Amino acid sequence: MSYNNDSYGDDRRYNVSNFRGFGRNSWLVVALVVILVLAVSVYATGIARVPVGNRGVLLTWGKVEENVLGEGIHFIIPFVQSVEYVNVQVQKAESTESAATNDLQDVSATVAVNFRVYPDKVNKVYQELGRDYVSSIIKPNIEESLKAATSLFTAEELITKREAVKTRFDDILKGRLNIFNIDVIAVSLTDFQFSPSFTQAIENKVIAEQSALEAKNKLEEIRYEAQQQVIQAEAARNATIVRSEGEAQAQIIAANATAEAIELITSQMTSEYAQYLWLSQWDGKLPLVVGEGEGIILDLTSLADTTP
């Protein structure tokens, strides 16, 4: 068997040239892919998107910048600058703390605080407090503020003046956290717990006060009833006096009228009128003589003989 050396050489040269051409094209594709990946990476690291309810802290080579990034998309220098996000929404910190009252009674209370970071001060908060400012700053100040507030009131006042205690605690805590650029929105104090002995003493006092109040109310009721009886007796006495005075006045008026009538009749009395009065009272019997001494003497026989 014979081989054509020239034909074999031509095929080999063709295959080598094809391989070299394919190799150059592959490297070109790889380079383009690398460039594209780098471009995408650069583009991605050059964009910062601040979520809703957050603010962005801009860092240049790890240094905190003065300007604060608001919500939305921002362009930064790739591989040089970065952004840290800080929540500026209202957050809640809650804990149970122990304290002492002004009269040295131990007390514990559940405290809830609503707060937020001042949006324009997030760079200061991040720079000075870091991310874990709730446990490092807020909770310790809640504890200290509660102790400072309860020390101004007695144990009894913590119950009877709870709103005043809450206001005082709120003022103290706001003053403490405002230094750290943290705004206290609202506070809540609940579930005051005292020692068992003090709780029993409070309960006994309440029972005693309720009993005293009931006795006082009963006394007031008795006193009111007594006053009503006095008023009724006084009214009856006054009515009797008025009635007696009225009757006496009526008798006086009648007596005066009788006297005046007698006086009037006496002043107008004549012998003829006297005879008339006598006759108006006569019973039909005929005495011979009426009168005595110098009085009036009537001869009634003459009257009997007179024919009408």
Average pLDDT (202-218) is: 71
CA–CA distance, 21 with 300 (Å, rounded to integer): 194
Amino acid at 37: V
Residue 22 scores a pLDDT above 60: no
E-state strands within 61-181: 63-69, 72-75, 81-87, 91-100, 106-117
Q: What is the pLDDT of residues 170-182, one digit of tens each?
A: 999 999 999 999 9
> Domain ranges in the chain?
47-86, 89-194, 276-305
Q: What is the pLDDT of residues 223-246, one digit of tens each?
A: 777 777 777 777 777 667 666 666
Residue 3: pLDDT band (50, 70, 90) is very low
- Tokens 């005051």 label which residue? 192
> Is the CATH number of domain 89-194 3.30.479.30?
yes
- Tokens 């009252």 label which residue? 101
**Summary mean pLDDT of the chain:** 77
The region that residue 205 occupies, defined by phi over 0 for left and psi between -120 and 50 for alpha, beta otherwise, is: alpha
CA–CA distance, 126 with 68 (Å, rounded to integer): 11
pLDDT given for residue 41 in this prediction? 61
Q: What is the pLDDT of residues 119-131, one digit of tens each?
A: 999 999 999 998 8
pTM, to two decimals: 0.55
